[in-house]
């Protein structure tokens, strides 16, 4: 059974230098209460694995503004100009990945794969320094798995056993991110006693803590 905690308690678990994965796509499906608590905690030198750095006023974008990351691994940055500024000024290390490659690296980390080969990025700066191999006549890049200490995800409904269901596009990266961390904390809009198994997307066995929003 997942333990129910507050957003502040979730943020207090994170130490300087930790690697965190955060769900969401431009803050849709992002655990915003936990992100706000992380801003208040002022934990520093984090590595972020996320689809994007959102908007300056929402989600992980607030942590960017507060200069809490030393490195960001993402698929795009364009909606948060502060990310680009910090990168250009040498204040922030940024590793950009094609979006499909990024989510597959996270999935590979979650299911214990040692990596995977993909044609995406061949002949571009994405390929620099990476092992290549010709498979079925096509050149492929070896991409390595990604994992973190914490995964912060957002669900629409959860139960006290940690089972989760997402709402529409709020699902995005969240189910894969829930696989790829040592400690998984889910922010939940509505907490119920029991979910129909047919409604479960992320099983409770993956979820360590729940932060409820319906109180």
What does the pLDDT look like over 144-172, one tens digit per residue?
999 999 999 999 999 999 999 999 999 99
Question: Which H or E run includes 38?
Answer: helix 32-41
What mean pLDDT do residues 45-74 have? 97
Split at pLDDT 50, 70, 90, the class of 50 is very high
- Could you tell me the residue range of the domain that residue 12 belongs to? 3-212
Neighbour tally for 120: CB within 10 Å? 16
Q: Are strands 132-135 and 138-143 parallel, antiparallel or unpaired?
A: antiparallel
Give pTM, 2 decimals. Answer: 0.96
Q: How many angstroms separate the CA atoms of 210 and 61, rounded?
A: 22
pLDDT at residue number 46: 98
Query: For the residues 93-109, what does the mean pLDDT come to?
Result: 97
- The pLDDT value recorded for residue 215 is 58
Give 97's Cβ-side CA count (13 Å radius).
23
**Average pLDDT in the 14-22 region?**
98
Number of structural domains the chain divides into:
1
Which CATH number do you get for residue 16? 3.40.1080.10
Q: What is the pLDDT of residue 1?
A: 82
Contact 28, 169 (CB under 8 A): yes
- Confidence check: pLDDT of 214 > 90: no
The answer to whether 48 and 71 have CB atoms below 8 angstroms apart is yes
Which are the contacts of 184, defined by CB distance < 8 A and separation ≥ 6? 150, 151, 153, 178, 206, 207, 208, 209
């Amino acid at each position: 059974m997942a333990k129910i905690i507050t957003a502040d308690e979730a943020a207090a678990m994170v130490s300087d230098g930790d690697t965190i994965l955060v769900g969401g796509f431009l803050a849709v499906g992002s655990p915003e209460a936990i992100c706000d608590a992380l801003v208040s905690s002022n934990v520093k030198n984090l590595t972020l694995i996320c689809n994007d750095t959102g908007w300056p006023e929402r989600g992980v974008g607030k942590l960017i503004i507060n200069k809490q990351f030393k490195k960001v691994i993402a698929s795009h940055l364009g909606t948060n100009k502060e990310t680009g500024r910090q990168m250009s000024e040498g204040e922030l290390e940024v590793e950009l990945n094609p979006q499909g490659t990024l989510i597959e690296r996270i999935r590979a980390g979650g299911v214990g794969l040692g990596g995977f080969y993909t044609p995406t990025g061949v002949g571009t700066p994405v390929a620099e320094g990476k092992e290549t191999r010709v498979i079925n006549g096509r050149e492929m890049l070896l991409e390595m798995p990604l994992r973190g200490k914490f995964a912060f995800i957002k669900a629409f409904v959860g139960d006290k056993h940690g089972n989760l269901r997402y709402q529409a596009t709020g699902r995005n990266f969240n189910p894969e991110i829930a696989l790829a961390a040592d400690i998984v904390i889910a922010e939940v809009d509505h907490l119920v006693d029991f979910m129909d198994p047919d409604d479960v997307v992320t099983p409770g066995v993956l979820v360590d803590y729940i932060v409820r929003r319906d109180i």
